[in-house]
Amino acid sequence: MLQLRASEEDSSCEVSQVRRVVLLNNDTVLDTMLCQEMYKKVINCRGGWGIAGTPLHAAVSKGHLSCLHVLLAHGALVDCVDVKAQTPLFAAVRGKYLDCVLALLRAGANPNGNSSNNGSPVLTAAREGDVEILKQLLIHGAEVNSRSKVLLWTSSARVTSGPLYLAAVYGHMECFRLLLLYGADPDYNCADAKLLSSIKQPKTVLEMCLRHGCGVEYIQLLIDFGANVYLPTLIIEKSTKQNEAVELLLRERGNPKALTSQCRLAVRRYLKKIDKIHCIDQLEMPTSLSNFLQHKPFPAPLCEEGALF
């Protein structure tokens, strides 16, 4: 039978009291309590029997921002983990509490979560379709390619569960586009060579989009961001939507990519290499070039009278 360590047994009462105040969102009482050594010393302790996380986990699980700030001010570890190796940031992302996510990231939370956990904040945000939270994670340096340790079975194929794949199959187009803009690998969306090598025939994101009947817009985005159109095995089915996507892919295979597209891909690959892909807006370059690299449409030219050509 599992037993609490002596230190946990001795402090379980204090942890429970701190946790209770946090769940009531009483930041004033919490601040007073944490000024006392008996409570301050348990600030990073888990809650004992049946309680998976620390007081900080409890605060973010309910979106209690004021208590979060009090806990951090009194020395709560921003990257403490619960029994599943989930950090407070992971819990905040799962709860869709953007203000808590921002507070934790500004306090130095690891945007990738804990390496011992099977998932990550990015994977969770991509699956849930939370564009703004996903963007903040990526801005703060989160890994845009898969770090999940879990392989999924789908359509008789074993595949990596990268964020691009999750955004596509759950129909979150804005997350899908955002991930590509921040440098997601459009082919396998996985930087773990060992993980890919464990799959007999790894499937590309393009192929999985075709298998799941994702719209043509997903295929077009992958092409625009440099996906290898010769990798997928094309299986023609009765779905009209899928056949349109296959036709697009076949046309792309039969035509060379435009020079402007090749130039954009080359520059973006270099920016990814020097870890600048997430801050194109802050780089010293003309706005037109910045927009071009981010696949933004060019503004239409105006004639002298102010009318569009």
DSSP per-residue string spanning 45-97: ---STT--S-HHHHHHHTT-HHHHHHHHHTT--TT---TTS--HHHHHHHHT-
Alpha carbon of 199 to those of 45, 150, 163: distances in Å?
40, 12, 18
Render pLDDT for 76-95 as a digit per residue (tens, 0 to 9). 999 999 988 899 999 999 99
| DSSP SS3 for 152 | strand
Render pLDDT for 195-240 as a digit per residue (tens, 0 to 9). 777 777 778 899 888 888 888 999 999 999 999 988 877 655 555 5
Tokens found for residue 183: 């440098």
Question: What percent of the chain lies above the pLDDT cut of 90?
Answer: 50
DSSP code of residue 142: -
Diameter over CA atoms, the chain: 83
DSSP code of residue 193: H
List all residues 6 or more positions away from 263 whose beta carbon is below 8 Å from its beta carbon: none
Least trusted range by pLDDT, from 108-117, 162-171, 242-251, 280-289: 242-251
- Cα dihedral sign, 224-230-231-233: positive
The residue behind tokens 């601040």 is: 31
Residues shown for the chain: 309
DSSP code of residue 232: S
Q: Where are the domains of the chain?
A: 8-110, 119-140+150-276
Alpha-carbon distance of 200 to 289, in angstroms, equals 41
Residue 33 has pLDDT above 70, yes or no: yes
Question: Would you state the pLDDT for residue 236?
Answer: 54
Question: Would you state the pLDDT for residue 252?
Answer: 83
The overall average pLDDT reported for the chain is: 84
Predicted confidence band at 2 (pLDDT cuts at 50, 70, 90)? very low
Which residue in 159, 172, 162, 170 sits closest to 133, CA to CA? 172
**Whole-angstrom distance between the N-terminal and C-terminal Cα of the chain?**
78
Alpha-carbon distance of 19 to 62, in angstroms, equals 12
Q: Which CATH superfamily is domain 8-110 in?
A: Ankyrin repeat-containing domain (1.25.40.20)
Question: Would you state the pLDDT for residue 160?
Answer: 60
Tokens found for residue 56: 């900080």
Alpha-carbon distance of 100 to 68, in angstroms, equals 8
If one looks up domain 119-140+150-276 in CATH, what number appears? 1.25.40.20
Tokens found for residue 77: 């570890």
Average pLDDT of 12-18? 88
Q: What is the pTM of this model?
A: 0.84
By the 8 A CB rule, do 176 and 192 touch? no
Render pLDDT for 131-168 as a digit per residue (tens, 0 to 9). 999 999 999 999 999 776 665 554 444 556 789 999 99
Tokens found for residue 21: 């105040």
Half-sphere exposure of 120 (CA within 13 A, CB side): 25
Question: Would you state the pLDDT for residue 87?
Answer: 96
Render pLDDT for 34-64 as a digit per residue (tens, 0 to 9). 999 999 999 999 865 556 789 999 999 999 9
Question: Would you state the pLDDT for residue 243?
Answer: 74
User: How many other CB atoms sit within 10 Å of the CB of residue 69?
Assistant: 17
Residue type, 42: V
Least trusted range by pLDDT, from 46-55, 245-254, 272-281, 284-293: 46-55
| DSSP SS3 for 280 | helix
Least trusted range by pLDDT, from 11-20, 68-77, 118-127, 134-143: 11-20
List all residues 6 or more positions away from 76 whose beta carbon is below 8 Å from its beta carbon: 43, 44, 54, 55, 56
The residue behind tokens 């799962």 is: 94
Do the two domains 8-110 and 119-140+150-276 of this chain adopt the same fold? yes
Question: Would you state the pLDDT for residue 60?
Answer: 96
Residue 122 has pLDDT above 50, yes or no: yes
By the 8 A CB rule, do 88 and 80 touch? yes
